[in-house]
Structure 1
Amino acid sequence: MENVEQTINRRDILKVGSLVGAVALGGLLSPMQAVSQPFKNPTRDKPLLLDSNENAYGFSSLIEKNLVKELTNMSLYPIKPEQQLLTDIAKFYNVKEDRVCLTNGSSAALQSALYAVNKMAQEANLPLRIIVPNPTFEFIEAYAKPLDPEIIKVELDSKFNFDIDKMKKSEMEFDGVSLVYICNPNNPTGNIANPNDLYSWVRNAKSTTIFLFDESYAEYVADSGFKSGIDMLKGGAKNIIITRTFSKVYGLAGCRIGYVLTTPELQKRVSEFLQLVGINFVGAKAASIALKDFNFRQYTINSNIKSREIVTRTLDSLGLKYAPSHGNFIFHEIAGDFDDFVKNMKNQNVLVGRKFDVYDNFCRVTLGTPDQMQYYVKLLKNFREKRYI
């Protein structure tokens, strides 16, 4: 069967140390094969990993088929593969290459974008303010610590939505350079921004404001109302930096390949803070191959929808609240002590996400395969019987 997706045991990969080892070993399962095999309960040595939002199906089978023949060139620097990936990404989004930066995972993309905007503030002799929703992905705050800017955290509303009005107020009243960080879908809640509110703000923001859109999970969104920052960028916006990754839907978290999409001017600024030859040979090759496998991507997305439905049906039956997730995770109420919930799950050989600010009675859980999520919701029902949740 051509272009079928594949599952892969992540612990087996870790034993050989890298994606190269996994490819060399072979023995990967296609999704069709995986579905036909009985689900095995997790064990202490092989727990169910629902904690880091990785792709439960591993990576595309095309990578296994095509990467091995490239390994003889691993003694060379990844200059050609890097350029090829840059070209492939630009072609994929129908933009010019001077709008794209390759980065060591999307985390490096976020850091470089932040430093670029900080330099813009320094050049203008203006203070920097960073505006973020709360809770959200914390890397921006971590990367900002050495710069010591003002950080404004704006709480989500009662339905887990971004409070665009309050964020906008913080931007408009500030006499300096503002960096507005929007993780869309948001991590950990999984909600998406209202496109009308957000992009009206982008169009009418002050000239000293830059919007940083972290779209690590955008490929998972099935809502027709979702609008990527890429649409605004292609529509002529000059104040947007978008970061994306191959770690999630493409299943290449271990390869650390991310990228930036922005204007040519901002691309140059971001590039100043990127590591020279910052991505690796195997990752560049694997990412170029992954872009070509539509079937794997679509299978992963469809599977994710099924898994989400399994979990939300159970949460509804248990009367537990949850955010309207559009990523490969769900943020749900546990109605009890967070640490106890994590401990009880670990005792059943299931690892779940960490605690997030403000919502200490909620847990972020990665959406694995439908079989894995059936096991998870069975535990939730058992926990309810024991009055753990």
Structure 2
Amino acid sequence: MEAKAILKEMAPYRQGMQIDEVKKKFNLTRIVKLASNENPYGYSEKVKAALRKLDLSFEIYPDGHATHLRTATSKKWDIKESEIVFGSGSDELIEIICRTFLHEGLNTVMAAPTFPQYRHHALIEGALVKEVPTIEGNHDLDGMLQAIDENTKVVWLCSPDNPTGTLIPPQAFHQFMENCPTNVVVVLDEAYYEFIDGSLQMDASANIQRYSNLIILRTFSKAYGLAGLRVGYGIANEKITEKINVVRGPFNTSILAQKAASIAIEDDLFIQETVESNEVVKQKFQQFLTSIGWHFYPSQTNFLLVSTPGDADELADYLLENGFIVRSGNLLGYPHTVRITIGTKQDMTQLQQVIKQFQLLLDKEV
């Protein structure tokens, strides 16, 4: 049976080795996963306590409107409930946005490299993908504006960017939006919003009121530590959310995910502690990298994209054999780099020792 022709040129998402696989292959008892930017501190104790007491009726479909979560999210960000759309992670929202706005004959503009799911789903919908190379890991906003033409329907801005961690400064974002045609949908993907320095965080409510063509994406998978439950959300004006909700599946977030997220979004202390711990450990790891002469991109996230001496896969494989799973930049469009999630203080101290061992091996080869 024939599928869409474009699928012959594409491949499924390729995930890295899972913890049990690594343990078995290398005969290890402890693995530290630093490849997917998950929260090493877990998730809110309030969520854990609530989930232990839940008596959920799994035989009943979830609330397709996500009423309780919608109310909590509306209150948190001072936005109307009708200005929110939920997805099974922001990944699904990217797919839904592409299905809503893109088709053959239209094009979409994005940075390159950036989060690959933008390109992936746009191609499936038959749209032409126009990629504008990043400049030192940053979006080339002027170049992206120049790439927009009469057939452009969606522009993707990933800020902080994945995989570099770099931020589009608020002033640059506003300048871009002022110059972007209003008939072009701009998606601002803020998956790592909670990790952004407070002085650089933007007001979602104010931005969607100011820009009628803006969709903001956020997720519970990163700082909130609920990656396994798959729940994210989009913020936009009602005209946009109405269109997206036509395409969205009626029961796309589970009962469990909605309940956990509605509690998590109210636990500001957990987020504060997570962000503060991440920043302290990140700063110390950056100092270590500087001391051994390894470059890294300035990051407003819970990960670093680190330049490596030699081949990225060689370092990633060495770390894997020693119990650390990281993401090779060869898979992300940045050769000679690895993306490393910031783990706990203990994890990152141990990682430094393994990196030192790797560098000693390189020095001996020279």
Give aligned pairs, total. Answer: 341
Distance 2:78 2:323 in 1: 44
Distance 2:27 2:282 in 1: 23
1:312 is aligned to 286
1:208 is aligned to 183
Distance 1:357 1:64 in 2: 34
| Equivalent residues of 1:85, 1:288 under 8 A apart | yes
2:255 is aligned to 281
| Equivalent residues of 1:135, 1:356 under 8 A apart | no
2:58 is aligned to 74
Deviations 1:334-377 (A, max 9, x none): 11111111111011111001334542101101111121111112
> Which of residues 96, 112, 129 in structure 2 aligns to 1:151?
129
Letter of the 2:132 counterpart: V
Residue 349, structure 1, aligned to residue 323, structure 2: yes
Distance 1:334 1:76 in 2: 51
Give the superposition deviation at 1:44.
2.1
Decide whether aligned partners of structure 1 residues 43 and 184 sit closer, same or farther in structure 2, where only a CA change above 3 A counts.
farther
1:142 is aligned to 120
| Equivalent residues of 2:77, 2:204 under 8 A apart | no
| Equivalent residues of 2:165, 2:299 under 8 A apart | yes
> Which of residues 89, 92, 99 in structure 2 aligns to 1:108?
92
Letter of the 1:44 counterpart: L
Give the superposition deviation at 1:151.
1.0
* Secondary structure of the structure 1 residue equivalent to 2:41: coil
Structure 2 alignment gaps of length 5 or more: 1-17, 21-25
Give the superposition deviation at 1:181.
0.5
Distance 1:206 1:102 in 2: 26
Give the superposition deviation at 1:176.
1.7
Question: When the two structures are superposed, what TM-score results if normalisation uses the length of structure 2?
Answer: 0.88
Distance 2:331 2:19 in 1: 27
2:7 is aligned to none
Letter of the 1:329 counterpart: F
Distance 2:206 2:286 in 1: 30
* Secondary structure of the structure 2 residue equivalent to 1:330: strand
2:35 is aligned to 51
1:262 is aligned to 236
Q: Which moved further from structure 2: 254-263 or 355-364?
A: 355-364
| Equivalent residues of 1:192, 1:226 under 8 A apart | no
Decide whether aligned partners of structure 1 residues 276 and 270 sit closer, same or farther in structure 2, where only a CA change above 3 A counts.
same
Distance 1:92 1:308 in 2: 27
Distance 1:356 1:222 in 2: 28
2:304 is aligned to 330
* Secondary structure of the structure 1 residue equivalent to 2:347: helix
- What RMSD in Å do the two structures reach over aligned CA positions? 2.2
Equivalences for residues 1-389 of structure 1 within 5 A: 44-79=28-63, 82-118=66-102, 127-158=105-136, 160-171=137-148, 174-222=149-197, 224-227=199-202, 229-234=204-209, 236-354=210-328, 355-387=330-362
Q: Which moved further from structure 2: 142-151 or 253-262?
A: 142-151
Distance 2:118 2:180 in 1: 21
Distance 1:254 1:216 in 2: 15
Distance 1:362 1:229 in 2: 32
Decide whether aligned partners of structure 1 residues 228 and 45 sit closer, same or farther in structure 2, where only a CA change above 3 A counts.
farther
Give the superposition deviation at 1:186.
0.3
